[in-house]
Amino acid sequence: MAQRMEGRQQRKRPGQSSGPIRRKSCYFCKEKVDEIDYKNVNQLRRYISEKGKIRSRRITGACRRHQRQVAVAVKRAREMALLPYVSG
Class of domain 26-88: few secondary structures
Q: For residue range 44-84, list pLDDT tens digits in order.
A: 999 999 999 999 999 999 999 999 999 999 999 999 999 99
Q: For residue range 9-27, list pLDDT tens digits in order.
A: 556 667 666 777 777 789 9
> pLDDT at position 56, please?
95
Whole-structure pTM value: 0.73
Burial class (CB in 10 A: 0-12, 13-18, 19+), 7: exposed
> pLDDT at position 22, please?
72
User: How far, in whole angstroms, is CA 80 from its chain's centroid?
Assistant: 23
> pLDDT at position 73, please?
97
